[in-house]
Structure 1
Amino acid sequence: MFAAVLHEEHSIEFEDIHEQPLENNEVRVKVMAAGICGSDTHKMRTKWKYGFPAVMGHEFSGEVIEIGSKVTKFSIGERVVGIPLLPCYECEYCLSGEYSLCENYKMIGSHFYGAFAEKVVVPEKNLLKIDDLSYEEATMIEPLAVALHGVQGIDPKLGDTVLVFGAGNIGLLTIQALKIIGVKNIIAVDVKEGNLEEAKKYGADFTINSLVEDLEKLVKEYSDNSGVDIVLECAGSAIAQEQSLRVVKKHGKIAYIGIAYEDIHLPEDSFEKIFRHELTLKGFWNSYSAPFPGKEWTNSYNLIKQNKVNVKDMITHRFPLNQTKEAFEMILKQKELHKKVLIIPNKEM
């Protein structure tokens, strides 16, 4: 089969590789669409930790084309979405149903060949049926589940004022989820005007460009001078991670969703707000709960299926498999404005 293969020095080459053998409990999926995640592009900027050659791609959907002898839940021809996390099912966290905290997890697209390929092999447990949902929309189930893991976990209430740092893909999905819950006001913060315009389109009531505007002053103005009830940090920015402590009200809650890519050093007055204001800080990693893969995944599927979350318009670019390298170059060099970028290994007939 053909695949976009990652080699040393972050080189991606379009190559003909051997198909992986199929175990008794596994399914072979013809990949119809696969999304490029922000974590994929981050890995291209830093050191790849998982060995070469590699095939990335963990946001994907496709058609079942082969099943192992012990597979009972899927049939040839069914449409499915892939679940990339492979928990160990044996550590204390897995045994308590907290799969996102698994001590010995593996990931499709990191530890194993992923979906930037014509086909991918997936354990039966790591697939969900998508019925007639489009393959492209189904690729957005995974990032929406990441957003919902944080939103559901921080538990916003009807009437809350909530601030979202970062209006990228996860931020926009978070804003849409908050709108469904019925929070009073949503404030989107970013440093790019284009992202803030998108945030308005997807439900933000107020926007702040923290690069050129007075963040704390405007937050007070938009929150009756008290600060926001909840902050969801989706940017993975050291600056935003610190600013989150400054804009939340006393007894407020902060959800850290964005991956930290650098050290964060807190000024004394920011750190003091944690205990003087009795704040609740929670981190949210990945998107899983019990029963695996969890309500984050089933809710994401239903929200997209019922058109309650608009993911279709978030897909801005599509590249064939043999142009995966060009897709990454476009993102990394910011050649064009984009949101979700898809790789299309096999065209639907």
Structure 2
Amino acid sequence: MKTKAVRLYGKADLRLEEFELPKIKDNEILAKVVCDSLCMSSYKAASQGSDHKRIPDDVDKNPIIIGHEFAGELVEVGSKWTSEFKPGDKFSIQPALNYKNGPVGVLSAPGYSYHHIGGDATYVIIPNEVMELGCLLPYEGEGFYPASLSEPLSCVIGAMHANYHTTPGSYIHNMEIVDGGKMALLAGVGPMGLAAINYVLHRDDRKPSLLVVTDIDQDRLDRAATLYTFEFAQSRGIELKYVNTSVMADPVKGLKDISGEGGYDDVFVFAPVAPVVEQADKILGFDGCLNFFAGPSNPEFSATMNFYNIHYAFTHVVGTSGGNTDDMKEGLAVMAKGLDPAGLVTHIGGMNAVIDTTLNLPNIPGGKKLIYNHVEMPLTAIADFKEIGKNNSVYSLLAEICDRNKGLWSVEAEEMLLANAKSLGY
């Protein structure tokens, strides 16, 4: 079976190549990848090459396939796994393989470390350890893009679960956000911030009473408010506020005033910017937990914190990087109950767009860039479909579908694109 894939050879050295996959072993599975959501982590991996902790040292001679937020369907199942999987099954993959009983420090992951599996390929071979570790996840919902986005959704789910609070007079840490508490998402209307808002509003087991989302880009705040409305939040028992801190004379005082001056129980930082981290520290309430979600590319990144409050107000910090398999399963389950992750997606493209998009990801505005691996299509903003559609019937139909869905991608749009990809003209 031939596959076409984007492979990493070194720093900023990505190549779109076609090559032959070996015949699968009895303990492996051959799969077709339908779509992959490009992630800033792939940009970091491509920028750092073998200096990245997950990239093999010999990547220049044995390249790896990039991409780790992908979904598709199984094509051929090795005999070891035929009792659990069958051809035609739709799937998502948890790339953060959890070697509970394996060697210490193992960081191998699809999209970073493997020669025959990664999200930016038409066909891949799923290795035995992915199944052994329970990281091949069945997806029974409609379409494919929700399964692809279950990985980024799992990251915010894991972040919520990782927060903790203390019990006065004891050393017990109670995991999770405060149910009925006050929560702030700082720099919170980027792709991952939107995923966090979406999850918080759809969660049934616990939720804050106040959710404050900040940013310094009013257009992005306005878009978030149309996707995740005050009215829907109210119906879920949550007071939702979008705040542009760039127009506040004193953002810390303003945010604390919104909280009722007591500060926030749970504060999440979605940008690796020192002033944002310091702002988060200053708005924490008693026993407040700061979750530094955004992963910096600078290994020397630092910010100041108030240690007086750490000592006397019991404020504390956690950092999370990715979600685990249970978080992905929860993400798939909450999507089955009505959560649509389409609000994260602002651009659509084909395999031919992966290299330039990945290497320039920090400079491309908007949210998630969703790639369809069996399609030839330049990276295109959904907002531009209508204009391009004046001279292209496929874009025109996509624009009509997205307009009916608040300007968002959808299963209907996905099916239409896949059925008419050859008519795009590329």
* Fold conserved between structures, TM > 0.5: yes
Corresponding position of 1:142: 151
- Matched-pair contact (CA < 8 Å) for 2:34–2:71: yes
* Correspondent of 1:30 among 25, 29, 32: 32
What's the counterpart of residue 70 of structure 2?
60
Alignment-derived partner of residue 163 in structure 1 = 184
Q: Report the CA distance shift for 1:7/1:103 in structure 2 as closer, same or farther (over 3 A).
A: closer
Verify: 1:217 aligned to 2:242, yes or no. Answer: no
Aligned equivalents of 2:159 and 2:266: distance in 1? 11
Q: Which amino acid aligns with 1:13?
A: R
CA RMSD of aligned residues (A): 2.3
- Deviation for aligned residue 1:144: 0.7
For 1:318, what is the secondary structure of its paired residue?
strand
Shift of 1:159: 2.4
Q: d(CA) in 1 for partners of 2:19 and 2:199? A: 40
Alpha-carbon separation, structure 2, partners of 1:329 and 1:254: 31
Residue of structure 2 equivalent to 1:88: 99
Q: How far apart in 2 are the matches of 1:225 and 1:286?
A: 32
Quick check: which has more Rg, 1 or 2? 2
> 2:272 matched to 1:236?
yes
Please give the TM-score of this superposition, normalised by the length of structure 2: 0.72
Provide the C-alpha distance between the structure 1 equivalents of 2:49 and 2:276, rounded to a whole number of angstroms: 24
Q: Distance in 2 between matches of 1:188 and 1:132?
A: 30
Matched to 1:74, the amino acid is F
Unaligned runs of 5+ in 2: 164-175, 231-239, 376-417, 420-426
Aligned residue for 1:97?
Answer: none
Matching residue of 2:295: 259
Q: Do structure 1's residue 306 and structure 2's residue 337 form an aligned pair? A: yes
2:241 corresponds to: 206
Deviation at 1:57, TM superposition (A): 0.7
Q: Which amino acid aligns with 2:371?
A: I
Gaps of 5+ in 1: 93-101
Aligned partner of 2:319 in structure 1 is 283
- 1:184 is aligned, of 205, 209, 214, to 209
Residue type of the alignment partner of 1:322: N
Contact 2:11–2:48 (CA under 8 A) maintained in structure 1: no
Alignment partner, residue 221 of structure 2? 196
The count of aligned residue pairs is 331
What secondary structure is seen at the aligned counterpart in 2 of 1:106? coil
- The aligned residue for residue 74 of structure 1 is 85
- 8 Å CA contact 1:175–1:203 kept in 2: the answer is no
Whether the 8 Å contact between 1:133 and 1:305 is mirrored in structure 2 is no
- Asked if the contact 1:147/1:174 (under 8 Å) is kept, the reply is yes
8 Å contact from structure 1 (residues 171, 235) kept in 2: no
The structural deviation recorded for 1:195 is 2.8
Q: Name the structure, 1 or 2, with higher relative contact order (CA <8 Å, separation 6+).
A: 1
Aligned to 2:409: none
What does residue 96 of structure 1 align with? none
Identity of aligned residues (%): 20
Asked whether the equivalents of residues 87 and 106 of structure 1 are also in contact (C-alpha less than 8 Å), the reply is no
